[in-house]
């Protein structure tokens, strides 16, 4: 089995991905800012520091694949100028550090799988269905995604296969949006925001993990793919289905847009806007979703 290096291994997706890879027999080296120990012989942690540019060179021994999951949570804090810089730097600096280290040490990496987001297309609500060929948006998140992807593309100069996943909202009971909204729905509280007509491109975390395994097993896959389910749902529909998963209904109104803007400032655009995103390119690779409807995803998660 190949040995895989994972950057950003301690997050919501990273922890589940590591568990899945170990179960399938892969060996995993995980980069961490803090010293960590593993009780599993197939998993080893190595320190790195993007601020100082340090990486433990031992992390790359026998590694031929890098999976990059780094990036500060865009929805964790209001977007002050300082926070915006953290969001950008946490994505770009980490990839630049990996690229420069691999290049300068002549490390042969066959595959680099990196993240991006459907925010690439801009925070807009329309009936347009965005594909991988659609133009980038012009707002902050779109600019972040463009820089994020350009940084990953540096690995092309090393002859590395590059796969970039433009992810939607990742749905899973142990983290992300569902973890924050489930307590409200369990109490019968409507979690919809603004007019609720904004679309919510999404993907079940278990399908995300399966997608990584699919990419690792199929070397002909390369380029940029929208990692979203086939089901186009609005925020209103999401809230209704989430409530139903707890056997609840709510007659409460949506949280008004002006309140969201007061609380979250500029960050509110990612909550109040959203368009349809196509996954046809991903489906053309032969990948199939196990949880392609939100109802199925939630029913099997709760």
Question: Mind listing the pLDDT tens digit for each residue in 239-267?
Answer: 999 999 999 999 899 999 999 999 999 99
What's the mean pLDDT in 34-46?
Answer: 91
Specify the range with the lowest mean pLDDT, choosing from 116-125, 181-190, 282-291. Answer: 181-190
Return the pLDDT at 118: 97
Tell me the residue range of the domain where 294 lies: 3-301
Distance spanning both ends of the chain, measured CA to CA: 34
Please give the pLDDT value at position 75: 87
Mean pLDDT across 114-119 = 97
pLDDT tens per residue, range 147-194 = 999 999 999 999 999 999 999 999 998 778 888 898 999 999 999 999
Average pLDDT of the chain to the nearest whole number:
94
How confident is residue 127, by pLDDT bands cut at 50, 70 and 90? confident
Q: What is the pTM of this model?
A: 0.95
Q: Provide the pLDDT for residue 206.
A: 96
Residue 107 has pLDDT above 70, yes or no: yes
Is the pLDDT at 302 greater than 70? The verdict is: no
Q: How confident is the model at residue 1 (pLDDT cuts 50, 70, 90)?
A: low
The closest of 76, 94, 93 to 8, measured between CA atoms, is 94
State residue 175's pLDDT score. Answer: 78
Say which CATH number the domain at 243 has.
Answer: 3.40.50.720
Number of domains comprising the chain? 1
- 235 versus 75: the higher-pLDDT residue is 235
pLDDT at 105 over 90: yes
Tens of pLDDT, residue by residue over 74-87, are 988 899 999 999 99
Predicted local distance difference test score (pLDDT) of residue 128: 92
């Amino acid at each position: 089995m190949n040995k895989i290096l994972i950057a950003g291994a301690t997050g919501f997706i990273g922890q589940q991905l590591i568990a899945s890879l170990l179960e399938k027999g892969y060996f995993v080296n995980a980069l961490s800012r803090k010293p960590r120990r593993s009780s599993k012989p197939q998993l080893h942690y190595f320190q790195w520091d993007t601020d100082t540019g340090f990486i433990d060179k031992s992390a790359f021994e026998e590694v031929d694949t890098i999976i990059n999951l780094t990036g500060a949570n865009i929805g964790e804090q209001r977007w002050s100028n300082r926070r915006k810089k953290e969001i950008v730097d946490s994505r770009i600096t980490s990839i630049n550090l990996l690229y420069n280290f691999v290049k300068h040490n002549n490390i042969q990496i066959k595959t680099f799988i990196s993240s991006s987001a459907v925010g690439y297309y801009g925070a807009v609500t329309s009936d347009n269905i965005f594909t991988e060929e659609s133009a980038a948006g012009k707002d902050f998140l779109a600019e972040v995604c463009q820089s994020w992807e350009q940084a990953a593309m540096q690995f092309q100069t090393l002859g590395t296969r590059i796969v970039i996943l433009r992810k939607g909202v990742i749905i899973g009971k142990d983290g992300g949006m569902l973890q924050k909204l489930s307590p409200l729905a369990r109490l019968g509280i409507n979690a919809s925001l603004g007019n609720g007509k904004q679309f919510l491109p999404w993907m079940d975390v278990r399908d995300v993990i399966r997608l990584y395994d699919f990419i690792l097993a199929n070397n002909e896959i390369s380029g940029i793919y929208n990692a979203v389910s086939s089901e186009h749902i609005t925020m209103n529909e999401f809230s209704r289905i989430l409530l139903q998963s707890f056997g609840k209904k709510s007659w409460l109104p949506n949280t008004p847009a002006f309140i969201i803007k007061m609380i979250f400032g500029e960050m509110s655009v990612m909550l109040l806007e959203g368009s349809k995103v196509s996954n046809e390119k991903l489906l053309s690779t032969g990948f199939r979703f196990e949880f392609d409807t939100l109802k199925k995803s939630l029913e099997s998660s709760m």
